[in-house]
Amino acid sequence: MKKTIRFKTLGSTHDYAKKNAGKYPDGTVIVAGRQTAGRGRFDRKWHSPAGGLYFSVILEPRGLRPADTQLLTFAMALAVASAVENAAGISPALKWPNDVMVSVKRDDKIAAARQHSAAARRKYKKIAGILTECSISKNEVERVVISAGINVNNRIPVPLAGIAVSASGIAGRTLDGEKILDAVIENFEKSYSAFSLSRILKEYKKKSMLVGKKICFVSGTDEYCGTVKGFDDSGAIILALNDGSVKTFHGGEVTL
């Protein structure tokens, strides 16, 4: 990537990148030590204290179709998973469309484990999330902002301990966030510079925690339940429904 801009504190690297994207060249990375208004999909708040890794990348891809932007999310998720795996010695799995998850022991010593909620008993917990938004002109992608929030050394608050985990918490030691950032950007840049839909889909499917699993899928006000068959060429999820039909979804929410 061509340029890195750093802030100690920022409302949201994603919002800053969107607002100022025209000022910076393709490949600019915006990094914040902490965020006061971090967000994910559906404008959900992303807890962003010091110790975590929060960054956005401004892209100006040439000839990219709007339908292919999901593959950029996949590429970033794979880049994050690889960097975290190498740094912390853990093997993340990917939850469609934008989450990086880690399998944890059910007796993990966290405060939420003493609660009797379903969230406290989950086997998989979120270690990172990706947010991708783009501007479109004449049916081509003009600009993309892709952001990631990674729980590296930040403390997970009790209300979130049943659903989130930090890399250092699993590794049992403080990790070098800068090395993780460098590895993520290097991994992502390789995918971006030699953008291959088939390769990204193949790698994503191998890392997916959903393929072959029974899930329920919420799209708008409707819920569909069935088995995940895989992903189509645009990254949409393919679900074999319980009634025997097969349906493809480009957006929505997965529940396990």
CATH number at residue 82: 3.30.930.10
> Domain check: are 218 and 168 in the same one?
no
**Whole-structure pTM value:** 0.90
- Residue 186 has a CB neighbour count (10 Å cut-off) of 13
> Domain check: are 118 and 48 in the same one?
yes
Could you please report the per-residue DSSP string of 70-88?
HHHHHHHHHHHHHHHHHHH
> Domain check: are 81 and 106 in the same one?
yes
Domain that holds residue 43: 3-207
> In angstroms, rounded to a whole number, what is the distance separating the alpha carbons of residues 253 and 212?
17
pLDDT digits (tens, 9 = 90+) for 66-101: 888 899 999 999 999 999 999 999 999 999 999 999
> In angstroms, rounded to a whole number, what is the distance separating the alpha carbons of residues 108 and 106?
5
User: What does residue 176 show for φ and ψ, rounded to 5 degrees?
Assistant: -85, 100
pLDDT digits (tens, 9 = 90+) for 151-204: 999 999 998 888 999 999 999 999 999 999 999 999 999 998 888 888 999 999
> Domain check: are 148 and 231 in the same one?
no
> Domain check: are 132 and 248 in the same one?
no
Tally of domains in the chain: 2
> In angstroms, rounded to a whole number, what is the distance separating the alpha carbons of residues 195 and 82?
17
> Domain check: are 26 and 79 in the same one?
yes
